[in-house]
Amino acid sequence: MKNIYLLIITVLLVSCNQKTKIVETDLFPDGTKIPDWFHDYSKINPEDLGAFYTITDYGVSNDSTLIQTEAIQNTIDEAYRNGGGVIVIPKGTFLSGALFFKPNTHLHVAEGGVLKGSDNIADYPFKPSRIEGQSIEYFSALVNAFGIDGFTITGKGTIDGNGLKYWEAFWQRRKENPKCTNLEVSRPRLVFIWKCNNVQVQDVKLRNSGFWTSHYYQCNNVKILDLRITSPHEPVKAPSTDAIDIDVCNNMLIKGCYMAVNDDAIALKGGKGPWADKDPSNGENTNIIIEDCEFGFCHAALTNGSESIHNKNIVMRNCVVKEAKRLLWLKMRPDTAQKYEYITVENITGEAHSFIYIKPWTQFFDLKGRKDVPLSYSNHITMRNIDLKCDIFYDMKITEYDKLSNFTFENIKVEAKDATYDKSIINGVTFKNVEVNGELIK
């Protein structure tokens, strides 16, 4: 009996310790508690969102050769006039230009259904927008939502950007002018969600975008669950097709997604230029969690920049990286004041060209007449519990204008062709149980 009591007490103590550990680690990197909202992975049932408006019931033909923007938009407008509802893309392929969702309207792409973008840029109106850290007029996306709280995209179908023509035009322009900018070739994004709160995008496939695949600007409380986001990197490269661009957003959960694109998988943006931090259209990204995701080919699994001024409380965890060029990329842009802080990357396995990559980003450098060079800071960066094969372990080079401090590398096992590292690059770097090619860093 005494042994049984001891066993019960031991189990209770272990249980208490485990609960304490969970509470202690369920924090953002700056020590603040992660809200319960981040632990609710419930899927939205589109039937709870209002009446269904299946586009083929409202004058849209099941004909994959016709561009039917007007008829699909009329379906959205009809739902809006009736108080809202769910626009359903049924089985089949439906070509369209830019679509503009209205308050209380939602998009559901049924399994076997494809909403396919026109490859004629004239089908995407030029409107006030946001692109590459600038608030300018630009081409609309295929799917657009502005100021719609509670906007959702659901279903197991596909939104296809039909991007080949745009990719070919870009590479032709780059051949003519190797220094051409991304905006010199007119290309539409696939999804642009702006000033929307309480957004959920779940289950759909996003592919073949002409430009950025999905762009969230000035949004709060966004959940992106179980998406498959792809664009090719061979035989044709799909330029600038970032999977998820986060731009001046707060509280975002990206969970269970597969991303393989010919650019960054997840990019944190927010503004660029010598006075970007003074522009009210720019801002910070805070409280972002990326978990249980898989990354195929991409330029980086997680990128800060290149149009970014402040990122804080960013967590990437429990992910598999298979063909990324970089696991974590901190782009230090010398014409923009930047601050990347309290970023944690943990519980990662797989392969990448570079374990961590920190270098000046000088493409399209422009101080616009500013005499001094703004300083950029990266601090409280933690990478832990990582098992990775890579070509380069410590891929870093900074200038006098880049300040790195308080980096922690913990419980890391790396196989690297280039295992060199220079502790002096970072002011205050800690290595705990870091093994590179079988040798512990001391």
3-class DSSP state for residue 255?
strand
**Backbone angles phi and psi of 41, in degrees to 5:** -105, 20
Confidence tier at 433 by pLDDT (50, 70, 90): very high
The total number of residues shown for the chain amounts to 442
For residue 24, pLDDT beyond 60: no
The confidence score (pLDDT) of residue 25 equals: 61
Q: Is 40 left (phi over 0), alpha (psi -120 to 50) or beta?
A: beta
**pTM reported for the whole predicted model:** 0.94
With pLDDT > 90 as the criterion, what percentage of the chain qualifies?
91
Q: What is the mean pLDDT of residues 313-336?
A: 98
Residue-wise pLDDT for 388-430, tens only, equals 999 999 999 999 999 999 999 999 999 999 999 999 999 999 9
Q: Where are the domains of the chain?
A: 93-102+122-441
For residue 441, pLDDT beyond 50: yes
The confidence score (pLDDT) of residue 12 equals: 43
For residue 15, pLDDT beyond 80: no
Locate 384 and state its tokens: 């832990």
What's the chain's average pLDDT? 94
Q: What is the mean pLDDT of residues 273-292?
A: 97
**Residues near 185 by beta carbon (within 8 Å), at least 6 away in sequence:** 166, 169, 170, 173
Q: Out of 23-37, 66-80, 261-275, 409-423, pick the least confident.
A: 23-37
Element (H, E) at 10: helix 2-25
Confidence tier at 9 by pLDDT (50, 70, 90): very low
Its CATH class, for the domain covering 93-102+122-441, is mainly beta
Q: What is the mean pLDDT of residues 214-223?
A: 99
For residue 55, pLDDT beyond 90: yes
Query: Other C-beta atoms within 10 Å of 368: how many?
Result: 8
**Backbone angles phi and psi of 112, in degrees to 5:** 90, -10
Confidence tier at 381 by pLDDT (50, 70, 90): very high
Residue-wise pLDDT for 25-41, tens only, equals 699 999 999 999 999 99
The confidence score (pLDDT) of residue 213 equals: 99
More confident residue, 7 or 60: 60
DSSP secondary structure, 280-302, as one string? TT--EEEEEEEES-EE-SBSEEE
CA distance 167 to 242: 13
C-beta separation of 295 from 320 below 8 A: yes
> Which position has the token pair 């419980």?
411
Q: Which residues of 15-28 are buried (b: 16+ CB within 10 A; e: fewer)?
A: eeeeeeeeeeeeeb
Residue-wise pLDDT for 330-368, tens only, equals 999 999 999 999 999 999 999 999 999 999 988 888 898
Which residues pair with residue 416 across a beta bridge? Answer: 390
The confidence score (pLDDT) of residue 364 equals: 81
> What single DSSP character describes residue 37?
G
Residue-wise pLDDT for 182-204, tens only, equals 999 999 999 999 999 999 999 99
More confident residue, 49 or 364: 49
For residue 244, pLDDT beyond 70: yes
CA distance 361 to 332: 5
Which residues pair with residue 234 across a beta bridge? Answer: none
Q: What is the mean pLDDT of residues 4-20?
A: 41
With pLDDT > 70 as the criterion, what percentage of the chain qualifies?
94
Residue-wise pLDDT for 284-300, tens only, equals 999 999 999 999 999 99
The confidence score (pLDDT) of residue 256 equals: 99
Query: Other C-beta atoms within 10 Å of 324: how many?
Result: 27
Locate 172 and state its tokens: 């032709």
CA distance 84 to 79: 5
CA distance 103 to 101: 7
Confidence tier at 119 by pLDDT (50, 70, 90): very high
> Which position has the token pair 């970072």?
426
Selection from 263, 231, 267 nearest residue 252 by Cα: 267
For residue 13, pLDDT beyond 90: no
Strand positions, DSSP E, 140-190: 143-146, 152-154, 158-160
For residue 268, pLDDT beyond 80: yes
